[in-house]
Amino acid sequence: MTSAGSGRLSVPVRIEGDAGTMSWWGMQLTRVADRLDDLHTAAVLAKNLPGAGVRVTSARGDAEALLDALTADISEATLLGMVLQEYADAYERYAQPANALIDDIEVAHGEWAQSSAAADDAATLALSTVGSEWDGLAALTQNNATEAAQTRDLAWQRLSSLIAEHGEYFAQWSSAYDAALAALASAGSAGMTPEARAVFERLIGTTDPAHVRALWNEHPEMHPELIAAHPDLLGNLDGIPYDVRSTLNRGRLDAMLATEPDGDRREELEAIRRALETEGSPPPSLISFDPDGSEQVTAAIAHGDLATASEINTLVPGMNGNVGDMHAWGESARALNRAAGDGTATVVWFGYDTPNLLEEPGMGRAQDGAAALGSYLRGLSALSPAADINVIAHSYGSTTAALAIGSSSDGLGVTSLIAVGSAGFPNDDAVIANLTDGDPPRVYATVSEDDAVARIGRGTAIGHSVSPERLTDVTVFDSDGGVDSDGRPLPAATGHGALGAGAYLEPGSESFYNVAEIVRTGEPGTERDGEGSERGFWDEGNWWISDEYAFVDL
């Protein structure tokens, strides 16, 4: 976190976890290893049974086969138990104190912001009295300005000290986390050469996609061995080239569909395959695929060539979105590529567990999703450093995207954040400051006059009630019907939907036209309240809009 006068604010990250639960599982795995060791001892005795005959010989053979399997299982259970316990201890030593500091940091930041504003006001007043006929007034205001500046500086020192302390704890936790990942990787890498295992542990031990990319490019001779050993991890590791990831993920998808029984998950897997079978050049690519890592199947499909694109868009869904919708989102992605022009690629990113109606008021899904989206966006920047990166987020997706991008001091390399029918940005001063400080990303927003869902979502939110359309330096564009540059009518968004007739991202609508123009030129294509604009249910001229219920006046 830095002074508002010197740059963006970095938001401290709360580290999720439960040391008690991790310790309990560590003990259970240790017990499993002990019992397997007892079985191993019994198998040794059986292998050495005296006597002759078919049954004795068969028993010896079975015991030998069991011993071969048990050796690896005992080793893995022992390692897992040890890693979990060591990580639980590290979490308790470093993560819990770091988390405890966040509340103090937020209070200290509020005190600093308040004292900074007071110091600015005192300085302005002191300047206004310079040359006053009453010397005593000038001296008094100057003295007040000095005291206010001292109070501000003391507040900044306390805030800086707390942030530095949090950073130390966080760095120690991060090192422990990386060590745990490396240890777990070694458990699944027994068949790899020591050289390849060392590279793999470095790949998964870093949280920087640029470092992953550099390591991958430095060791082309290791690629076949690494891919053979861990296709699931490499297919989702940000920083690995997208053509490699797509090949690995498509292979995993096809293999799963060959054996997956009927049910909800098979339907989701088939939906992903249908979205990939759309004709195009290049064909859609499955750049991430995780059927087991969270409650929902998550995936991301790229339409267009990410390696050569100068404009890369990412579509982020909101409440109740799932991979079953990927084909429809893909149609919108390809239409956006055509509308924005050559050199455009668009990713449909279903990389997080979207909330249901009961979860939507909270920030839990956004916090988890922001971590995944942030890593993905850093991977884009690492692999396509020259491209403009645009995030187009619908409903709760804009809550997630705003948290991810606004929590980073560099905006994750994003050029523009476009929020359509936003469920509200996070109620976090540092996040909002990062998004509206005049540096990239540039933020754009629209909400239809007929979108009650977005307004109700903000009004009932616990943690994301900020209306982006009201923020300073946010470019607001229309979605209520207008005309394009040739005077042709553009339909309005008539509700909250992302796709389909009357939706924000329906090709041909005013909202979609403006999104495409923002990607293409940096500015919306229609005039605010211009020709063709329609008055809607929530138009601010209606009698039910008042200051008392300002959350619906957008």
Residues 202 and 325 placed together within one structural domain of the fold:
no
pLDDT score, position 189? 59
The number of residues in the chain equals 554
Report the pLDDT value the prediction gives residue 530, as an integer from 0 to 100.
65
Query: Is-cis flag, bond preceding 440, omega within 30?
Result: no
Q: Which two tokens stand for residue 498?
A: 């992302």
Domain contains 270: no
pTM score, whole prediction: 0.73
Which of 538, 420, 430 lies closest to 468, judged by CA? 420
Q: Are residues 225 and 183 in the same domain?
A: no
Contacts 24+ apart (CB under 8 A), 107-115: 108/155, 108/158, 108/159, 108/162, 109/1, 109/9, 109/159, 109/429, 109/430, 110/429, 111/155, 111/158, 111/159, 112/152, 112/155, 112/156, 112/158, 112/159, 113/4, 113/429, 115/148, 115/151, 115/152, 115/155
Number of domains in the chain: 3
Tokens of 443: 């933020």
Q: Are residues 181 and 302 both part of a single domain?
A: no
170 in the same domain as 307: no
Same domain, 95 and 143: yes
Alpha helices in 292-428 (DSSP H): 326-340, 364-383, 396-406
Q: Tell me whether residue 167 is exposed, middle or buried, using C-beta atoms within 10 angstroms of its C-beta: 0 to 12, 13 to 18, 19 or more.
A: middle
CA 324, CA 442: separation in Å to the nearest integer?
31
Both 134 and 198 in a single domain?
Answer: no
Residues 200 and 319 in one domain: no
Residue range(s) defining the domain that contains residue 343: 280-552
In a domain, 519, yes or no: yes
Instruction: Say yes or no: 295 and 414 in one domain.
Output: yes
Would residue 261 count as lying in a domain? no
- Asked if residue 323 is part of any domain, the answer here is yes
Residue 476 falls within a domain, yes or no? yes
432 Cα distance to chain centroid: 17
153 lies in the same domain as 200: no
pLDDT tens per residue, the chain (554 residues)?
A: 333 333 455 667 778 777 777 777 777 777 777 777 777 777 777 767 676 666 667 766 777 777 666 666 776 677 777 777 887 888 888 888 998 998 898 888 889 889 988 988 888 888 787 666 676 777 888 888 889 989 988 988 888 889 889 888 888 888 887 777 667 666 655 567 888 888 888 888 788 999 999 999 999 999 999 999 889 889 999 999 999 999 999 999 999 999 999 999 999 999 999 999 987 789 999 999 999 877 899 999 999 999 999 999 999 999 999 999 999 999 999 999 999 999 999 999 999 999 999 999 999 999 989 999 999 999 999 999 999 999 999 999 999 999 999 999 899 999 999 999 999 999 999 999 999 988 899 999 999 988 999 998 898 898 999 999 999 999 999 998 888 888 899 999 999 999 999 999 999 999 999 999 999 999 999 988 766 556 655 554 432 333 333 333 33
Residue pair 164/179 in contact by the 8 Å Cβ criterion = no
Q: Are residues 164 and 201 in the same domain?
A: no
* 440, 396: one domain: yes
Helical residues (DSSP H) of 188-241, grouped into ranges: 194-204, 209-218, 223-229, 231-234
Answer whether residue 391 is part of any domain: yes
Q: Is 237 contained in some domain? A: no
pLDDT at site 381: 94
Residue closest to 336 by CA, chosen among 208, 499, 209: 499
Q: Is residue 481 part of a domain?
A: yes
CATH label of the domain that carries residue 519: 3.40.50.1820
The answer to whether residues 212 and 345 belong to one domain is no
Which tokens sit at 305? 């060539």
Which residue type, as a one-letter code, is found at position 365? R
